[in-house]
Amino acid sequence: MSEIARAAGLSERSLHRQLVADCGLNPRQLLHTARMLRAMELLEDPTVSVGEASLRAGFLSMGSFSLAFKAFAGLSPSDWRRREETPRR
């Protein structure tokens, strides 16, 4: 976060306060949300495996990705992908 704060011309503490004020999320929560949304986007592409989506979203292990994804989305990455593939009426 220090690089982001420096690029924004803020101290880390000021960046933290500003993110919480503007987004309602601290830097760690914001990064986690961004990773999960990126993973969801990647999982929409059937040519991208769940493992590849995990790596490209910034996770180093499939286990931690699967647990984090399920906590975030309520479904495992594979179940979420299957849900997205189901035709909607």
CA distance 80 to 65: 13
pLDDT at 86 over 90: no
Q: Residue 37 to residues 34, 61, 80: CA-CA distances in angstroms?
A: 5, 17, 12
Q: Which secondary-structure segment (H or E) carries 58?
A: none
Q: What separation, in Å, do the N-terminal and C-terminal C-alpha atoms of the chain show? A: 43
pLDDT at 87: 55
Q: Is the pLDDT of residue 75 over 70?
A: yes
What pTM does this model have?
Answer: 0.78
Query: Higher pLDDT residue, 48 or 30?
Result: 48
Question: Rounded to an integer, what distance in angstroms lies between the CA atom of residue 60 and that of residue 54?
Answer: 8
Q: Which is more confident, 58 or 85?
A: 58
- pLDDT over threshold 80, residue 1: no
Query: Domains plus CATH for the chain?
Result: 2-85 (1.10.10.60)
